[in-house]
Amino acid sequence: MKLIAYNNEFKEQLKTYQIKDLTFTGLPQNTIKISQKNKDYHLILLVNESNEICTFFVLDYGDDKFKHTKSMKSLLLRSFSTNERFFCFKLII
């Protein structure tokens, strides 16, 4: 596994990214659109050995963090999600 910055090479792959519950996160495609206008958003991917996206999140260096902290060294973690195709458990009923 490795962390890499998002680039357009992964655009098509994100179309099949699966998230069922959006209660506390957002779709990567929507976050990418926001990042095009907000340069404080840094899109990060966790990819496996086959270069498949397992996890997506944003490191936000903007001022919203000051709603939660006074630390100048802080950042916000946004839109964290794991592609459900890579969940390791199975529910047995």
- Give the pLDDT of residue 91: 56
Residue 63 has a pLDDT of 94
The pLDDT of residue 48 is 94
Whole-angstrom Cα distance, residue 1 to residue 58? 18
The domain spans of the chain are 2-86
* pLDDT digit string, tens, across residues 4-53: 999 999 999 999 999 988 888 989 999 999 999 999 999 999 999 999 99
CB 43 within 8 A of CB 80: no
The pTM (predicted TM-score) of the whole model is 0.86
Greater confidence (89 vs 51) lies with: 51
